[in-house]
Amino acid sequence: MTTTEILSQRMPRIDALTGLRWYAAFFVFTFHMLVFAPLPPLASAFLGEGFYGVTFFFVLSGFVLTWSASAKVSQSTFYWRRFARVWPSHIVALLVAIPVFYSFDPNPAQTWVKPVSLGVLALSVVLLQGWSLNPTILFSGNPAAWTLTCEAFFYALHPYISRLLGRMRVRGSLIFMIVVVAIAFAFRALTASSPGEWFSLIPLPVTRVTEFALGMALAWAMRCGWRPRVPAWVGLTSIVAVLVALVLIPRYRAGGIPALLVTTFSNELITVACVLAILGVAVRSLSGRPSVFAHRFHVRLGELSFAFYLVHATIMYVFLSIFGSQPASWLNLLWFALLLALDIAVAAALHHFVQRPIEKRLRRWKDTRANRSALVSG
């Protein structure tokens, strides 16, 4: 088939990946909760790896956008739909976060509160904060939103990477993935061996684009008919195995080569594991076999995951400012349960009253203009 024919096919929705996305968001939530309510050391060490949920988001984003791509959607419409999907919820979450993370007279004891800076906040409004490695700017506005800078950059590149992949089929896509993985590992080795050099100052949107590109290539290979027999449990177990290795090897075998390798290449190892997990879950779903992640409960939570991600840190820091940091204890699981329930409730409100209705209106406005232009030109 030609590229146009492939893109003209309507691909089935893979609900299991939506459900799986929830667990990535939940893992990020547990990571941030440790600032407020830490658990005993080993449990905290494991949940402390929760920021790798973002890696899963980036890979999955590339996969989903390529899997659902259509020849009927113009580049301008693609960009507009991405804006409609992300920016309305982002700006509402930002407005809620500002009073939590900013003050005209910050309390030195609350290290997370920064002095008001309109210039820095303006960068957050237009999602440019992630181009700085300065933590004050990188985590400005809503601290969790630095990832949206990366996503915005990925969206900008998506049509162009798609054109490159469109010249390939299964074999080419797999070679593309191997090359991207090699580049990611090589870059990490370079920065680890020569810290402080100019390449260590490359902004995150650029250094993380390999994760998005891998998701894109995986989706394109599958759209071209690739269906390897990779059980879902293999990919999911690989993620757990890498996380366990990251916690236990440096803890009990510090100073050895294995500890050096897993700590140096942790993000790359997790990225490969995420690719395997997405592949396994997608293949299982497309074969018609049931998946626990496709259960309506998980899918519903997955649909809330973007809003949940945007608000969870803000709510947690509100509790931190009121109650202070808690001593490490298993009893803190009660705080986990309370804030999880509250985060889901707030995320549901943001999703239903902001994200969905505004996205629909913005998409309808663009589609109407496109149809009018088509009629005029016709």
- Per-residue confidence at 377, pLDDT binned at 50, 70, 90? low
Average pLDDT over residues 160-185: 98
Tens digit of each residue's pLDDT (9 = 90 or more) over 275-294 = 999 999 999 999 999 999 99
What pTM did the predictor assign?
Answer: 0.97
Q: What is the pLDDT of residue 378?
A: 59
Would you say 217 and 272 are in contact if contact means Cβ atoms under 8 Å apart? no
Confidence of residue 370 (pLDDT cuts 50, 70, 90): confident
Percent of the chain with pLDDT over 70: 99
Position 199 pLDDT exceeds 90: no
Q: What's the rounded Cα separation, in Å, for the pair 337 and 220?
A: 39
Residue 282: half-sphere exposure toward Cβ, Cα within 13 Å: 25
Instruction: Say what the pLDDT of residue 369 is.
Output: 87
pLDDT in tens, 30-70: 999 999 999 999 999 999 999 999 999 999 999 999 999 99
